[in-house]
Structure 1
Amino acid sequence: MTANKIKDLLKMVEKYNNFIQQFNQCVIFASQRAKEYIEFKDPESKLKVNNSTVTDIFLMTYINRSIQCKLTESISCTKMTEEQTILLGTDWVWAVQDASSKNPKVQIAVQVIHMENKENQLMEKRFQPTESVKLARQESINKTHPEKISDFCSSIGKDCYGLFLFFGRKEDPKSICGVLSNDFHTHLGYGQGVDNAFLLDCIEKAKAFVTPGRMLELILQKEGVPENLKPVCVKFTQ
């Protein structure tokens, strides 16, 4: 191998590692920002942040930080409309882009799960849904949100991964963690449920958690390889 080819190879490795590190930093920063709102308690009990607001805070923080880091050249982030979220079970999609074609090489479809309390449920019921939202709910009434995102990912292929992102848990209400796989639909095929209980069980039985950067690295290592990735547990907050 010539000296020039070695330099080119080193540049490619450096660029690869840089955007993984940048993604990791952006996601962790957004997670910490969202955590501030999850753990906020108003001493006068007058201010309450609803679930959709916390989700938007995470996403806006991530997008703003990724633009600052020029990460959008490598990874796009597409926010779903309310109707799309209801139909597909997906809040947003991260896509790692091919540099030449700008087509997605791998995708991560994200679904945020809040361990809801009665106060949040009552707050969100105050807002009347639009006609299009009502229609979307009617179309997808027979499927749970985890089932929808599982079907969505399987329809795209093995290079689309579902990420269930938990904003708080009963045992750890201030944490943000997730479960990722491209094989959730297999559980549905065997008649097994993909629901909060199944996902929380994955987290509770996890021997180790990976960082968001390591999550992305694992996905890229499997790029183009038609293999299933068993559920991987990811820790987003420190």
Structure 2
Amino acid sequence: MGPKFSIPTSNRVQSCSFFSSLKNRSPRKALLDQTALHQPSILATLPKPPDVLFIISSCISAASTTTQEFLVFKDPEDKVHPSPQVLTQVFLMTYITKSVDFNITDIFNCTAMTPEQRILLGADWVWAVLEKSTKNPKIQIAVQVLHQPEREDANRTPIVAETSSESIQIAKMEASHKNMCERMVEFCTLIGDDCYALFLLLGKKDDEDNIYGVLSNNFGAADGKCNTIDRALIENFFRGSQYLHTPLGMMQAVLSKKVGDPLTLLVKFS
């Protein structure tokens, strides 16, 4: 994992092609498929899997609940407005606190990105299922928090020393050819099918008060099929959707997936 660490109207046909590609991705070679049949799922290798999954999902749900309280906060005097950075930090700090309390960090690790890593990789943090013996990551979930555009616009802040440092400027130059969403998809694609991109939406157009997510290890299928992977494209996944996973359902699906299979899920976190 390295260090423990609008869709325009003209793109509509391309976007449809992208959504189709996620569902119709061609299977890996027969040899890989045969190998996958004889390999146990990651779920089977965890100690007391139901208990572990319940604890992990409980930590994620607790972070979602606390963040939602800040998300829907309304100051009667209209003076206090939690910024996007605050909301992201509230989610991350609540999750970390719960995971430490439940002592699951040696099974399901959480690594917050440095400002430079966030710019280069597009992720705010990375969750990882760790091998018991080596503590190497077996499955990784890179998370990028997407805030409502109006909240981001209302909380523009002056340039501070951290964001104007030389290392930050170098990182921005290195990553200037792609937007944040595309950088995270590229990062996950380079790692492989066991790295998932999770776009965490703190509110969406038709429901500003709840937290949703789109998770996939197959966003790379968008290459050459649509111009931009951005918030508008992510929100399009929810159009006509009939089933949303819970955090527990998300973790069960990720850990029970066969090697080499594509997986795309819609999740409601609050």
Note whether the superposition's TM-score is higher than 0.5: yes
Q: Contact 1:188–1:194 at 8 Å: present in 2 too? A: no
Match of 1:177 in 2: 212
Match of 1:193 in 2: 228
Q: Contact 2:120–2:174 at 8 Å: present in 1 too? A: yes
Offset of 1:122 from its aligned partner? 4.6
Q: Does residue 160 in structure 1 map to residue 200 in structure 2?
A: no
Match of 1:41 in 2: 74
Matching residue within 253, 258, 263 for 1:218:
253
One-letter amino acid matched to 2:112:
K
Instruction: For residue 123 of structure 2, give the secondary structure of its aligned residue in structure 1.
Output: coil
Match of 2:261 in 1: 227
Segments of 5+ residues of structure 2 without an aligned counterpart are 1-43
Match of 1:209 in 2: 244
Match of 1:8 in 2: none
- Tell me, in whole angstroms, the C-alpha distance in 1 between the residues paired with 2:249 and 2:138: 17
Q: Contact 1:164–1:180 at 8 Å: present in 2 too? A: yes
Match of 2:169 in 1: 134
Match of 1:6 in 2: none
- Tell me, in whole angstroms, the C-alpha distance in 2 between the residues paired with 1:168 and 1:91: 17
Q: Contact 2:84–2:155 at 8 Å: present in 1 too? A: no
Q: Contact 2:203–2:211 at 8 Å: present in 1 too? A: yes
- Tell me, in whole angstroms, the C-alpha distance in 2 between the residues paired with 1:235 and 1:171: 14
Segments of 5+ residues of structure 1 without an aligned counterpart are 1-10
Instruction: For residue 124 of structure 1, give the secondary structure of its aligned residue in structure 2.
Output: coil
- Which aligned segments of 4 or more residues in structure 1 are displaced greater than 6 angstroms? 11-14
Q: Does residue 125 in structure 1 map to residue 163 in structure 2?
A: no
Larger relative contact order, structure 1 or 2 (CA cutoff 8 Å, min sep 6): 2
Q: What is the CA deviation profile of residues 22-81 of structure 1, one whole-angstrom value per residue up to 9, with x for unaligned ones?
A: 111111111010011111111112212110111000000000011111111210000001
What percentage of residue pairs aligned between the two structures are identical? Answer: 38
Offset of 1:205 from its aligned partner? 2.8
Q: What is the CA deviation profile of residues 147-201 of structure 1, one whole-angstrom value per residue up to 9, with x for unaligned ones?
A: 1011000110110000000001121111101000000011124345322122111
TM-score under structure 2 normalisation? 0.78
Distance 1:196 1:120, change over 3 A: closer
Q: What is the CA deviation profile of residues 114-155 of structure 1, one whole-angstrom value per residue up to 9, with x for unaligned ones?
A: 0121x6435333242222222222221221111101100011
One-letter amino acid matched to 1:124:
R
TM-score under structure 1 normalisation? 0.88
Q: What is the CA deviation profile of residues 63-120 of structure 1, one whole-angstrom value per residue up to 9, with x for unaligned ones?
A: 0011111111210000001111111111100000111111111000001000121x64
CA RMSD in angstroms comes to 1.8
Q: Contact 1:178–1:234 at 8 Å: present in 2 too? A: yes
One-letter amino acid matched to 1:28:
S
- Tell me, in whole angstroms, the C-alpha distance in 1 between the residues paired with 2:254 and 2:236: 22
Offset of 1:14 from its aligned partner? 6.7
